[in-house]
Amino acid sequence: MSNDSSKLMLENKSVWERADAKLRERYFGFAKEYAGFLDVGRTERLAVDRLKELAEQQGFLPVEKVKSWKAGQKIYAINRGKNIFLAVLGQEPLENGANLVASHLDVPRLDLKQRPLYQDDELGQALLRTHYYGGVKKYQWVNIPLGLYGKVILRDGREVDLAIGHDDDDPCFVITDILPHLNKKDQADRKSGETIKGEELVVLCGGIPVDDAEAKSRVKLAVLEHLNKKYGMDEEDLISSEIEMVPLIKSRFIGFDRSFLGGYGHDDRICSYTSVRAIFDVKDPMRTVVAACVDKEEIGSEGNTGMQAMFLWNFLGDLMALNKPDYSEAALRRCLSHTRVLSADTNAAVEPNFKGVHEMSNAGRAGYGIMMVKYTGHAGKSGASDANAEFVGRVRKIFNDNNIPWQCGAMGKVDEGGGGTVAKFLARLGMEVLDCGPAVMSLHSPFEVVSVADIYVSYQGYLAFYQAG
Ligand code: MN
Ligand code: MN
């Protein structure tokens, strides 16, 4: 009988223990490139623009420009500026299915309301009303510099893109908070979920009135005059806009040893970036490989840019048409049901202060590799996609065969809470799907934290999955 417990028992091991100096250098180099992407792609639209630029440098062509099927051909498609889909055509017919890695580019933030601008007359301040997007702890969004990003459609149809705060000499915006000296009655006794309430997420945006002493709301008017002079906008134009208030905190390495990377939007731009970088490095795949970076995951994958929309179906249909212009509906359905998917999304990593919400044998740790999550959901696996054993076995084998450090786990203790991903929407199409991505600390905060090692390991894991037969 063998006494070698390492062969029988599954043990968690830090990625750093397996990485020599050369590999560590690669981790840091890759993390730096990723940090650059995170700081440029602060909204889903900007992230799509940057990924498109990188894809074009790698020879990817827009799907409309490709006229016939050629194995190795690199193709991309963009949906409404908020999704990007990339593919490398395989040697096998697409009817056999694709290897797909699906991630999301939207991140929790504060959206402006449709009529956001008002003046507090007693203070002589102009303010913007917001409605938060996705799951946020509202108290985390005060007292930090915010940028104003988005698109406005003017009365005459012209489009204006805003990114105020993006450049270092730009002004920024902020939600102010009460000082500790005076918060005893009005704030300190509130429950933490109400420390700042939804309607209190109002953004300071102006304080100088127009000269005209007779005018009403003179500070608000001054803001509107500024917007008009600079962008040709008036107040009604804000009705047809999508404006996001986004933290301006830049990505920074953390710790004496720089072992972590802090930044805004790891969930889930880390998976979008690593899955796209991985598809760039796929060479002559047997099966067609696809990276899908979508929007609206944080609010349930709804709308025509969310994973529940038909865009992926349409994109695969466009690829089928390259193979066979008169392909049948049945052939496309076979492609869908033979497609294998990693739902590339971040999961919770245990924090030193709140271990109690996790069951430690089934919890994610930052720096312990890509996390395989068989099921998400909450309370009795409700709402989970729940990958089948066969597919978990396949992915596990791919990772083991390629020496990809992995861990497995769930979001928290049974009945503690939960969450979901795009997995179930792809499973509905008949695809095999497993949730798989890095574990993140301070998830959904304005400054999320990942292990530098897990960034590179995610890239390696997605690359190995794409290339598996
Ligand atoms: Mn996510
Ligand atoms: Mn999320």
Q: What is the CATH number of the domain that holds 382?
A: 3.40.630.10
Both 462 and 400 in one domain: the answer is yes
Using a CB cutoff of 5 Å, list residues around ligand 2, an ion: 267
Both 242 and 191 in one domain: the answer is yes
Its pTM surpasses 0.75: yes
**Chain centroid, CA 312 distance in Å:** 17
Residue 258 inside a domain? The answer is: no
CB proximity list for 215: less than 8 A, separation 6 or greater: 221
Could you tell me where the DSSP H helices lie in 297-339?
311-323, 329-337
Final residue before a domain boundary, out of 197, 222, 247: 247
Both 117 and 239 in one domain: the answer is yes
Could you tell me where the DSSP H helices lie in 75-217?
none
Question: What's the CA-to-centroid distance between 348 and ligand 2, angstroms?
Answer: 10
> CA-based Rg of the chain, rounded to a whole angstrom?
24
Taking the CA of 437 as reference, the closest ligand is 1
Most distant CA pair in the chain, distance: 94
Question: What's the CA-to-centroid distance between 107 and ligand 2, angstroms?
Answer: 7
Rounded CA-CA distance 340/359 in Å is 29
Cis omega before residue 268 (within 30°)? Answer: yes
Q: What letter would DSSP give residue 249?
A: P
Question: What's the CA-to-centroid distance between 225 and ligand 1, angstroms?
Answer: 39
Both 242 and 310 in one domain: the answer is no
Contact 16, 367 (CB under 8 A): yes
Q: Which amino acid is at 226?
A: H
Question: What's the CA-to-centroid distance between 150 and ligand 2, angstroms?
Answer: 20
Both 144 and 273 in one domain: the answer is no
Contact 293, 47 (CB under 8 A): yes
Both 98 and 136 in one domain: the answer is no
Question: What's the CA-to-centroid distance between 422 and ligand 1, angstroms?
Answer: 9
Residue 303 inside a domain? The answer is: yes
Both 126 and 231 in one domain: the answer is yes
Q: How many domains does the chain have?
A: 2
Residue 460 inside a domain? The answer is: yes
Q: What is the pLDDT of residue 416?
A: 87
Q: What is the pLDDT of residue 93?
A: 95
Rounded CA-CA distance 403/398 in Å is 9
User: By three-state DSSP, how is residue 186 classified?
Assistant: coil
Using a CB cutoff of 5 Å, list residues around ligand 1, an ion: 267-268, 345
Both 32 and 77 in one domain: the answer is yes
User: Which residues does the chain have with pLDDT short of 50?
Assistant: none
Question: What's the CA-to-centroid distance between 268 and ligand 2, angstroms?
Answer: 7
User: By three-state DSSP, how is residue 282 classified?
Assistant: coil
Residue 259 inside a domain? The answer is: no
Both 274 and 366 in one domain: the answer is yes
Residue 253 inside a domain? The answer is: no
Final residue before a domain boundary, out of 220, 247, 274: 247
List the domain range (segments joined by +) for residue 150.
109-247
Both 85 and 45 in one domain: the answer is yes
Both 101 and 140 in one domain: the answer is no
Contact 332, 318 (CB under 8 A): no
CATH number for the domain spanning 133: value is 2.30.250.10
Residue 196 inside a domain? The answer is: yes
Taking the CA of 422 as reference, the closest ligand is 1
β-strand 288-294 against 83-88: which pairing, if any? antiparallel
Question: What's the CA-to-centroid distance between 361 and ligand 1, angstroms?
Answer: 22
Residue 255 inside a domain? The answer is: no
102 token code pair: 């699906």
Both 181 and 66 in one domain: the answer is no
Taking the CA of 269 as reference, the closest ligand is 1
β-strand 241-247 against 260-263: which pairing, if any? unpaired
